[in-house]
Structure 1
Amino acid sequence: MDTRDLVRSLRMVGSRNGWRAVGAAWRRYRIDARDLPRRGAERARVPGAAYCAEPLPGGGVVRFAQSALRVRVAVGGAVFCGWDGAGPEPSYALADECPEADTRAVLEPDKDGWRVVSERITVVVFRHGAVEFRTPGGVLLRRELPPRWWDGAGRASRWVQRAQTPADAAVFGLGGRACGPGLTTGSYRLWNTDPSSAFGPGDDPLYITMPVQLVVADGGCHLVFHDNTWDGRVILREGVEGAGSGHDRPGSCEVRFDGGPLRYWVVAGSPSRVLGTWTALTGRPALPPRWALGYQHARWGFGDAQEVRRVAAGYRERGLPVSALHLDIDHFDGHRIFTVDNDRFPELPGLAVELREHGTRLVSIVDPAVKAEPGLAAYDSGSAADAFVRDARGHVVRGLVWPGETVFPDFTEPRVRKWWGGLYAERLEQGFAGVWHDMNEPTSFAAFAPYGESTLPRSARHSLEGRGGDHREAHNVYALAMARAGYEALRELRPRERPFLFSRSGWAGMQRYGGTWSGDVATGWPGLRASLALVLGLGLCGVPYSGPDVGGFHAMPSPELYVRWWQLSAYLPFFRTHSAINAGRREPWEFGPEAEECVRAALAERVRLMPYLYTLAHLAHRTGVPYVRPLWWHDPEDRKLRGAGDAFLLGDALLVAPVLEPGATERAVRLPRGRWYDTATGAFHEGPGQALLDAPLHRTPVLARAGSVLPVAVDGGLELEVWAPAAGRTGTGVLITDEGDGWAEPRVERFTSRWRVGAVAVEREGADEAGYVLRVRGDA
């Protein structure tokens, strides 16, 4: 136990549930000590020497003395590698059935062993088990060394695989990491974890861990995904160019898992192609309803309906549009899910209708833990359906969460997902327009880690779609399966509306059910920087819709910090203030007149950019490309951009340079290639290079790419904001519109900007004119 774990455990003991948390920790420890297989003698093995190869569609199988490797190129270009007979299915990551093999890819002899040549990547399998991935031009992307297993009687094999990457490679991803977006030398655990208190850049792991790495190097980009849900670690070491006697020392990656299959996918290409292929494999991101891109307000501790009305009225009176208010666990009856405290929230459906008339929806929190209380509808129906997780001896596992002693649905069982989904009808009847999944790592309070790890016993039994297994395998996909249950239920209960669902925890593929948020990010400037790192990192794992708790969760921010957090979040996909019950209010007027005016300006810009943001949402849904992109997105070979994590691209058109340091009134930003206009002054800067931008408290520096055509909202209508292309150049833009929350096919309009007879003109694809009012900005 490290110091941080000890402090958290002592804090837990001193809390309202303190001694019960100690008891829960002891109970969990005893169950695992009794039911988990004991580690006995283990035998290490490596593949050994290859002795034959068998061609199959898309690749083939190479057989070694002590293992076998299946290589299969799928239609679309993704390469699957599975050792020891592991196939691509069953998988919680894949959206549908595994894509068909690309029959053009053939396993053939090579001087070093065997190779599979495909359109986008060449795979070389060496005679002792190493595997290389190269570009069609022969540039090395990744070299996997022969894996090693430790086999023991009565327990799953644990294994390790080491890889080498180019010396200049930068690694991104691994889910939601507060220390990113670029991941430095270190060890990263793959175990979804509630940190139990506010977190900052030094805390790891957090709520969403994914064995997904996006590797960017001069020679090309690739994504590698180890499809294994067990507890594991990824250990990264940076490469060094010109090390030792003038030779490069490659970067290295060591992947370790406590069990489960050794199988992985590799995707190569440009960043947009990689994310497109990855989300085609694991599911395109869900398209949120249009209102979910507006500003939203939450608080743990609204208290009662009158306080909700007071806050909503405060926003209206000040002309600050709020699209949704979120009710936390305090609106439940004794924290019991799928209930309402009717004394404090009488006639909740009426409150929802009242708010909706002013353009504000209600969103409900939903936790997975069900209070173990006979007479409670969710508990009784779940017991009748045999829906709750049991231990190895058949007893229902009990934990400790907000309502007290609780039980946990097994979302890895299809009939349990169906039962759980039926409970969402109660939320819709109460007037809620969306749901917010919390505490679904899953978290069960316990003190004194590791004996009191705050989750279910590792020996707890799960269905795993009928295959059977325990919590060691099910833990990381518990929230993913819960999100599936909720999303499918909302689609069935309200078939004409797109669901709005976001989840604190998840795993690879979670984007097909909705988005996520930061969780309990620490209030402070480090927490602000971690907020941006999380959003960028998740986007590079295929999860584009996310954002932080504006202002941080656990403490009261200063007015300056609050303003800067607002200004950052106004350009992020999910835009919500939120705070703990004892962390003060987050309404803008609580921070003084100057802060309120700064917030007003940021919110007005968010509203103005709504057509552009909604277009980005559609593009993410269609292609997997995130709204928020790192500065190197179009210039992955630019090493200085790869190291710049303090600014980002919003789509292709805008570069946002948020202020992340206290007291700053200007900031430097690294520019990608091309011409960039300061949207406040109209002055332009040429990239690549660095620009120094004014950053007074009342605004965030934002640059527009020359030639960009941005759809913006003006006076209730829509205009095209056109930033003049450089002389002799052209620019582009796109607008995607629909009715806002249904399933009808959207309208897509594409635009081209160019100089024509000394003036900037815009043409719409298929027409001579743009068809919208133009507002041209910038100079020749």
Structure 2
Amino acid sequence: MPVPVRSGGRVSGMDAGDVVRSAKWMASLRAVGSAQGLRTVRSAWRRHRVDAVGLPRQGTERARVPGPAEGAEPGPGGGVVRFARSSLRVRVTVGGAVFLGWDGAGPEPSYALAGAAPEADERAVLEPDTDGGWRVVAERALVVVSRHGMVEVRTPGGALLRRDLPPRWWEPAARSGGRGGRWVQRSQVPADARFFGLGGRSAGPRLRDGWYRLWNTDPGGAFEPGDDPLYITMPVLLTVADAGTHLVFHDTTWDGRVALWEGEEGAGSGHDRPGRCEVRMDGGPLRSWVLVGSPARVLHGWAGLTGGAAVPPAWALGYQHARWGFGSEREVRRVVAGYRERGLPLSAVHLDIDHFRGHRSFTVDRRRFPDLPGLAADLRGQGVRLVSIVDPAVKEEPGMAVYDGGVEADAFVRDVRGRVVRGEVWPGPCVFPDFTDPEVRRWWGGLYAERLVQGFSGVWHDMNEPVSFAAFGDPTLPRSARHSLEGRGGDHREAHNVYGLTMARAGYEGLRELRPDERPFLFSRSGWAGMQRYGGTWSGDVATGWPGLRASLALVLGLGLCGVPYSGPDVGGFTGFPSPELFLRWFQLGAYLPLFRTHAAITAGRREPWEFGPEVLEHAGAALRERTRLLPYFVTLAHLAQRTGAPYVRPVWWRSPEDRALRDCEDAFLLGDALLVAPVLEAGADRRAVRLPRGLWYDTATGRAHEGPGQVLLDAPLSRVPVLARAGAVVPVAGADGAVELEVWPPAPGRTGGGVLVPDAGDGWKRPDAVRFVTRWRDGVVAVEREGAAEVGFRVRLRG
């Protein structure tokens, strides 16, 4: 069978990544059967034919650059600089964010923004610069526009953070469909800068030199470090340098690629070679946001733009167990009883597609689960919630309620000829709701009533890149497929990356309307900038192995720096059979991540801790109990993430970005401000080096103090991983009776410390007040004070 190939630098059929993914898909589909495998071939050719008709032809393209400046018009927060062949809008908002929009692009409409664009800072004024250009001076940033279209973002003191060279556009001479032509933006950053972000990446969190694609993709099978792209890609890049930290967000949803090259100090006759970034997009507006400041300030500003993170209910911060292949109600009860009999805390059980009737979402296999509401009620009485998977693809089956309802609502994506687009997913031939249509979102959100009736307390969205199985090419919908895009109209090239985001919005808003007194619990495999408004995510199908364990941490850290604080991996890996040591080390890592969940494929080994022997059971039990003890701290971090944008899990350079050694540290992380966790990420290790930020740190196992910055060698026996507490920290924990108490670590001599507690206010919408504490030495004794109150009000346990 002939295979379409890459031509002219543009993908017309399969590229190298498609070949690899197709091989993985075919391998994974062998277990499904030859009939479905044959349908994936037909589906791939059908998609190819639809795009051959529906996509505009390449045609001749003209290159364009802004040209020389011709004048400027002041406006709120900045103004518009006009060039011979383009224009640039500069606007600084009251929060300090800088908006840059070429060719008349404004900040709206945008899927990333939480609402209307923030108001302009009236104090920021566009004024002439010395070289014939213009500049905007603001409280947190200085923006300089040259007469040829180069844009520099500097600190208020003048230190260069980012230099955008004049952009370039390629516009078809005769274009039909789409919005704008391709464009490229090249930028320079300081030579010492390090790059982070771009969504969920399997290597990192520091992004090395190379190309990164911006196209949400199911890699097929399972992924390891180096596989790219994955399920969540975002044009969000965080850059850390001596001069300062900044975040840039290119607000376009189209397919694109980002190339990064780190700089080199003293390169070439003693001159620095700057770091470089190149963003190439297939379409969409050339507009961006830049935020400047400390990491905490930058993420706070990013949350202000894109919305605070949804706070999960407290039970969703506990340990959760999932498996593709529970098979029956009896098996679920057996597994839950296993946790209870061994005294292991368990908050939730997740049911995968095998509990559906023929893999159809919003159905139940009554033979295997004859009384799902009864099962949910029984488990809830034991403190265990049920969580349901939901896939977006709807089986094309007249007579099935969801399909018939979608047909009546005209909810499904169509091609350029008006025919409903069909694909191949787990149930067989499927159609796909258009979640970029507000009416379709309302229809879909109402379907979650069935899940609530069945007793489920939360949902996880899967296969929503979206996926349509394909024997070759990209496993998704035709790029020419038509979407509403909030009534503006467009095709899948523009809608693909926000499909998961808009599905999450539909589910979240539906659950909120159906059960208004409870915060929804929802996490999604795919998404885009702003997805934190509706919930979190997880690693997807990470491969079982030590590289997969390392990738798990990279994903959580990278997503947190893109504004998605609630995430976690499939503990033990999605595929394969982890060794007892690997499973235990993965479990210990998971105990300190926001989403703590075991999960595995139907063909993989089991993930119950007792399946790995008595030693693993003992040590996994200790990790579970520690997670339960830290739940008040996790609840606090969840509320702080919503209010400040700070992720639960932070890179070790979070408070010391000027420490270059910390920027390169990828095997440890901060849990909030108080704890530093150093997981074991390689086989056979019983000691490991830990790089400390500045200040005094206590080994929580031995109480020994270590002074940072610097590196220490700590014991890491199978029973635990190294965890250190910042001197002066106040950590809210659960006492033996379940009541919240304060674990206090002495501040360094002559210094003060402190901490925050946000009490658990239940699963509703009440916004609890933050309680702040200060620690200090007084007459040779550590004293704890509660701000604004004469009494602390909680039991205090002094450590160290």
Q: TM-score band, normalised by the shorter chain?
A: over 0.9
Contact preservation (8 Å) 2:325, 2:602: yes
Corresponding residue number in structure 2 for 1:755: 777
Q: Does 1:581 align with 2:597?
A: no
Corresponding residue number in structure 2 for 1:624: 645
Partner SS, residue 241 of structure 1: coil
Partner SS, residue 311 of structure 1: helix
Contact preservation (8 Å) 1:51, 1:63: yes
The alpha carbon displacement at 1:10 in A equals 4.3
The alpha carbon displacement at 1:202 in A equals 1.3
1:336-359 superposed Cα distances (whole Å, 9 cap, x missing partner)? 110000010011001000000000
Q: Does 1:739 align with 2:755?
A: no
Corresponding residue number in structure 2 for 1:4: 20
CA distance in 1 between partners of 2:478 and 2:767 (Å): 46
Corresponding residue number in structure 2 for 1:612: 633
Q: Which runs of 4+ in 1 moved over 6 A?
A: none
1:120-162 superposed Cα distances (whole Å, 9 cap, x missing partner)? 0010000011000000000000000000000102153000010
CA distance in 1 between partners of 2:53 and 2:494 (Å): 18
Q: Does 1:23 align with 2:7?
A: no
1:72-112 superposed Cα distances (whole Å, 9 cap, x missing partner)? 11110101000011110000000001111111111000013
Q: Does 1:287 align with 2:306?
A: no
The alpha carbon displacement at 1:9 in A equals 5.0
CA distance in 2 between partners of 1:638 and 1:378 (Å): 55
CA distance in 2 between partners of 1:61 and 1:72 (Å): 9
Corresponding residue number in structure 2 for 1:349: 373
CA distance in 2 between partners of 1:654 and 1:465 (Å): 44
Listed as ranges, the matches of 1:334-483 within 5 Å are 334-449=358-473, 453-483=474-504
The alpha carbon displacement at 1:717 in A equals 1.8
The alpha carbon displacement at 1:526 in A equals 0.2
Out of 161, 164, 171, the position equivalent to 2:195 is 171
2:348 aligned partner, one-letter code: A
Corresponding residue number in structure 2 for 1:278: 302
Corresponding residue number in structure 2 for 1:728: 750
The alpha carbon displacement at 1:383 in A equals 0.1
2:791 aligned partner, one-letter code: E
Corresponding residue number in structure 2 for 1:489: 510
Listed as ranges, the matches of 1:462-611 within 5 Å are 462-611=483-632
Corresponding residue number in structure 1 for 2:135: 115
Out of 198, 203, 212, the position equivalent to 1:188 is 212
Partner SS, residue 557 of structure 2: helix
Seq. identity, %: 75
| Deviating more after overlay: 453-462 vs 4-13 | 4-13
1:749-768 superposed Cα distances (whole Å, 9 cap, x missing partner)? 11111111111110111223
Corresponding residue number in structure 1 for 2:165: 145
Contact preservation (8 Å) 1:70, 1:83: yes
Corresponding residue number in structure 2 for 1:261: 285
Where in structure 2 are there 5+ consecutive unaligned residues? 1-14
For normalisation by structure 2, the TM-score amounts to 0.96
1:44 aligned partner, one-letter code: A
CA distance in 2 between partners of 1:720 and 1:119 (Å): 38
Contact preservation (8 Å) 1:443, 1:456: yes
CA distance in 2 between partners of 1:22 and 1:5 (Å): 14
The alpha carbon displacement at 1:228 in A equals 0.4
CA distance in 2 between partners of 1:604 and 1:12 (Å): 37
Corresponding residue number in structure 2 for 1:32: 51
Contact preservation (8 Å) 1:754, 1:762: yes
Corresponding residue number in structure 1 for 2:73: 54
CA distance in 1 between partners of 2:154 and 2:703 (Å): 44
Partner SS, residue 54 of structure 1: strand
The alpha carbon displacement at 1:726 in A equals 1.0
Corresponding residue number in structure 1 for 2:321: 297
Contact preservation (8 Å) 1:13, 1:22: no
2:57 aligned partner, one-letter code: R
Contact preservation (8 Å) 2:22, 2:470: no
1:118 aligned partner, one-letter code: A
Change (3 A) 1:772 1:100: same
The alpha carbon displacement at 1:63 in A equals 0.6
Q: Does 1:96 align with 2:115?
A: yes
The alpha carbon displacement at 1:6 in A equals 5.3
Change (3 A) 1:328 1:5: closer
Contact preservation (8 Å) 2:669, 2:676: yes
The alpha carbon displacement at 1:4 in A equals 2.6
The alpha carbon displacement at 1:12 in A equals 5.4
Listed as ranges, the matches of 1:168-247 within 5 Å are 168-247=192-271
The alpha carbon displacement at 1:242 in A equals 0.2
Out of 154, 157, 169, the position equivalent to 2:175 is 154
Change (3 A) 1:707 1:107: same
Contact preservation (8 Å) 2:68, 2:149: yes
Corresponding residue number in structure 1 for 2:9: none
Q: Does 1:776 align with 2:792?
A: no
For normalisation by structure 1, the TM-score amounts to 0.99
Contact preservation (8 Å) 1:13, 1:19: no
The alpha carbon displacement at 1:769 in A equals 3.2
The alpha carbon displacement at 1:7 in A equals 2.8
1:564 aligned partner, one-letter code: R
Contact preservation (8 Å) 1:738, 1:745: no
The alpha carbon displacement at 1:745 in A equals 2.5
Change (3 A) 1:736 1:222: same
Corresponding residue number in structure 2 for 1:693: 714
| Deviating more after overlay: 503-512 vs 14-23 | 14-23
The alpha carbon displacement at 1:738 in A equals 3.1
Where in structure 1 are there 5+ consecutive unaligned residues? none
Corresponding residue number in structure 2 for 1:63: 82
Q: Does 1:325 align with 2:341?
A: no
2:102 aligned partner, one-letter code: W
The alpha carbon displacement at 1:740 in A equals 2.1
Partner SS, residue 184 of structure 2: strand
1:464-487 superposed Cα distances (whole Å, 9 cap, x missing partner)? 000000000000000000000000
The alpha carbon displacement at 1:460 in A equals 0.1
Out of 31, 40, 43, the position equivalent to 2:62 is 43
1:23-75 superposed Cα distances (whole Å, 9 cap, x missing partner)? 11111001001110010000001000001100001110011111000001111
1:574 aligned partner, one-letter code: L
Contact preservation (8 Å) 2:28, 2:221: no
Partner SS, residue 496 of structure 1: coil
Partner SS, residue 369 of structure 2: coil
Q: Does 1:672 align with 2:688?
A: no
CA distance in 2 between partners of 1:161 and 1:456 (Å): 28
CA distance in 2 between partners of 1:325 and 1:5 (Å): 30
The alpha carbon displacement at 1:5 in A equals 3.5
Contact preservation (8 Å) 1:738, 1:747: no
Contact preservation (8 Å) 2:25, 2:469: no
Partner SS, residue 325 of structure 2: coil
2:575 aligned partner, one-letter code: H
Contact preservation (8 Å) 2:22, 2:220: no
CA distance in 2 between partners of 1:531 and 1:14 (Å): 27
Q: Does 1:124 align with 2:144?
A: yes
The alpha carbon displacement at 1:584 in A equals 1.5
Contact preservation (8 Å) 1:525, 1:561: yes
Contact preservation (8 Å) 1:296, 1:325: yes
Listed as ranges, the matches of 1:78-93 within 5 Å are 78-93=97-112
CA distance in 1 between partners of 2:489 and 2:443 (Å): 19
